[in-house]
Structure formats: structure tokens, C-alpha cells
């Protein structure tokens, strides 16, 4: 979020653009291409999670597969049994889902189009409201209050190409996506001091801590790749550490201590074990 605020200061044209805000459901990011289900990083979805997808979709499973023959489908797989950050109230039952994006080629569809297609196919969509970027930046904490049952909300902007080209390191997509979470409210976004060498000198680098929901989300991503092997510490821990580090780099946060990651990993698998009883 801080990175986006910095970008807006440089590219003031973004401020007056209309934007979409969508609830951020708490679950696992799954994508579907030509009827095949993958994790966010395009690793095949383990069998046990494919079964959970079928339970979540029920009779609409075939409709989703049909939609994925034309569009790449992105949806959140959640429910009482799969909410890493603990925001279960927005879900119905043990397994549920919400479609949040459709992509054609390398272009995201506008939310209005996604909503229309979801209605045609009888599929669940996250929903959205339209606001200005300026309004979001000025009152995002107030907006978050309307999303108490969710992790927060996602801001989506579809700028003209002339503006997109000005955004540093932007991927070759037509949209800008920014997450706003409850954990960001009132948080100092901490001061964790790390040291690195710069031109032969050791200098202090101040970075905020990675919030718990991002760590739990990283563990969930490892779970999606490993399936039941998530309980095997020798297999799970190295992958979890790598996933957490990737999230820390992505959000420009400090990598948590190993003891903290292990504590959250144990919390995650203990919850899974309690649900199996």
C-alpha cells in the first residue's frame, strides 16, 4: 500500500481515475485454465484441494470448467475449513468460493463484465463498488469498516496505457491491484532494523514486519502445492520459508524470524488436525 501511495505522488493522473473496490475474501487463490486447476504460481492443484473445489462448487463445477475454456478464471477457495487469516464469516459452510477475476489473453476483464458472465453461468462473484482513487487514499480506513467480515478490500484501477507506462516495474497487464487490510489500521508498520553492506559500509535498513495474514497466506500457498504433505515438516518447512520470504520481498517487509514462521506453521497444521477430528 505504501508503495502505491508513493506511485500516486509521482503519477498524479491516477488520483482522479475511477476505481473498483472488491471485498478481499480470506482463502486460497486458485486459477483455472482450459478446465485444469492450478495454484497462483501455476502449479497443479493437489488432489485433496481439487476435491475441495468440487465440494465448494457443487453442481456449478461444470459451469466453471466451461467458463475456463474461454477465459482464465481466478477465484478464492475458502470456507470454515480454509480461511488462513481467520475471516470465516463471509463464507457459507465448510467450503465455498468467489470468482474475482477473468482474463482474456493478458488483459483483465472489467468487473462489470466479470459480474455479467458470472450471472450468465450461475457462478458466485465477489461484487464491487466504484469510487475514485482519491477517495480511497483519503478515507481507506473508513472504507475498511464496511468490510469487517473480510480481510479487507482490493482496489482495482484500469488506467489508460499512457498512464500505465509511467508506473515503474508494472507487469504487462491492463490493471493495477492494491490490497488494503484491517491489519494496516493503526499499525506503525513497524521498525525492524536489518543491516546490509553498501559500498563497503554496513548500514541500517528499516523495514516493516510482515503481517500475520501474509505469513498464514504464504503457509496456505505451500499447502496448496504440497497437499497432505503439509504435515511432513521436512518437506513443508523449507517451502514455507521460501514462500514467506517471497511475500516479504513482494511487500518490501522484513523476513520474519524462523521461530515466528514455525509458530504460525504449527498453528496452521493444528487447526487442520482439529478439523479432521
Whether 102 and 212 share a structural domain: no
pLDDT at residue 274 above 90? no
For 104-114, write each residue's pLDDT tens digit.
Answer: 998 999 999 99
Coil, helix or strand for 158?
coil
Q: Mark whether 206 and 115 lie in a shared domain.
A: no
Looking at the fold, whether 175 and 201 belong to one and the same domain comes out as no
Number of domains, the chain: 2
Residues 160 and 102 in one domain: yes
- The structure's pTM equals 0.81
DSSP letter for 249, please: H
pLDDT in the model for residue 169: 67
Cα(182)–Cα(175) distance, integer angstroms: 23
d(CA 53, CA 23): 20
Name the DSSP class of 173. Answer: S
Task: Supply the range of the domain harboring residue 126.
Answer: 2-184
Structural contact between residues 1 and 211, judged by C-beta atoms closer than 8 angstroms: no
Could you tell me if 29 and 163 lie in one domain? yes
Q: Helix (H) and strand (E) counts for the chain?
A: 9, 11
| CATH of residue 76 | 3.30.470.30
Domain boundary among 126, 150, 184: 184
Regarding whether 106 and 24 lie in a shared domain, the answer is yes
Residue 169 shares a structural domain with residue 237:
no
CA–CA distance, 229 with 46 (Å, rounded to integer): 10
The cell numbers describing 165, all together, are 507506462
Q: Quick one: 152 and 77 in the same domain? A: yes
Same domain membership, residue 257 and residue 146: no
Rounded alpha-carbon distances, angstroms, from residue 100 to 50, 79, 177, 193 = 19, 16, 12, 37
26 grid coordinates? 480470506
Q: Is the pLDDT of residue 123 over 90?
A: yes
The reply to whether 52 and 127 lie within a common domain is: yes
Rounded CA-CA distance 128/223 in Å is 29
Residues 92 and 205 in one domain: no
Which residues are paired to 77 by β-bridges? 28, 97
Of the three residues 130, 164, 184, the one that is the final residue of a domain is: 184
Last residue of a domain, one of 184, 203, 229: 184
pLDDT band at residue 235 under the 50/70/90 scheme: very high
Amino acid at each position: 500500500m505504501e508503495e502505491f501511495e508513493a506511485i500516486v505522488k509521482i503519477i498524479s493522473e491516477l488520483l482522479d481515475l475511477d476505481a473498483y473496490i472488491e471485498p478481499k475474501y480470506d482463502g486460497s487463490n486458485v486459477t483455472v485454465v482450459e478446465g485444469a486447476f492450478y495454484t497462483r504460481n501455476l502449479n497443479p492443484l493437489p488432489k485433496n484441494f481439487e476435491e475441495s473445489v468440487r465440494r465448494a462448487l457443487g453442481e456449478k463445477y461444470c459451469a466453471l470448467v466451461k467458463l475456463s475454456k474461454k477465459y482464465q478464471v481466478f477465484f478464492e477457495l475458502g470456507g470454515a475449513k480454509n480461511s488462513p487469516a481467520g475471516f470465516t464469516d463471509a463464507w457459507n459452510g465448510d467450503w465455498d468460493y468467489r470468482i474475482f477475476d477473468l482474463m482474456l489473453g493478458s488483459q483483465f476483464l472489467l468487473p462489470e463484465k466479470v459480474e455479467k458472465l458470472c450471472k450468465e453461468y450461475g457462478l458466485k462473484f465477489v461484487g464491487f463498488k466504484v469510487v475514485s482513487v482519491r477517495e480511497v487514499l483519503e478515507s481507506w480506513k473508513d472504507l475498511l469498516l464496511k468490510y469487517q467480515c473480510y480481510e479487507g478490500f482490493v482496489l482495482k484501477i484500469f488506467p489508460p496505457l499512457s498512464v500505465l507506462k509511467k508506473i515503474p516495474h508494472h507487469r504487462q497487464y491492463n490493471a493495477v491491484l492494491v490490497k488494503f487490510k484491517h491489519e494496516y489500521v493503526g499499525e506503525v508498520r513497524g521498525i525492524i532494523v536489518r543491516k546490509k553492506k553498501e559500498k563497503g559500509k554496513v548500514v541500517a535498513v528499516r523495514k516493516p514486519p510482515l503481517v500475520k495474514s501474509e505469513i498464514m497466506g504464504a503457509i496456505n500457498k505451500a499447502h496448496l502445492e504440497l497437499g497432505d504433505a503439509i504435515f511432513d515438516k521436512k518437506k513443508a518447512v523449507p517451502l514455507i520459508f521460501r514462500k514467506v520470504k517471497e511475500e516479504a520481498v513482494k511487500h518490501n517487509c522484513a523476513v520474519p524470524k524462523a521461530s515466528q514462521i514455525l509458530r504460525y506453521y504449527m498453528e496452521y497444521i493444528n487447526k487442520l488436525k482439529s478439523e479432521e477430528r
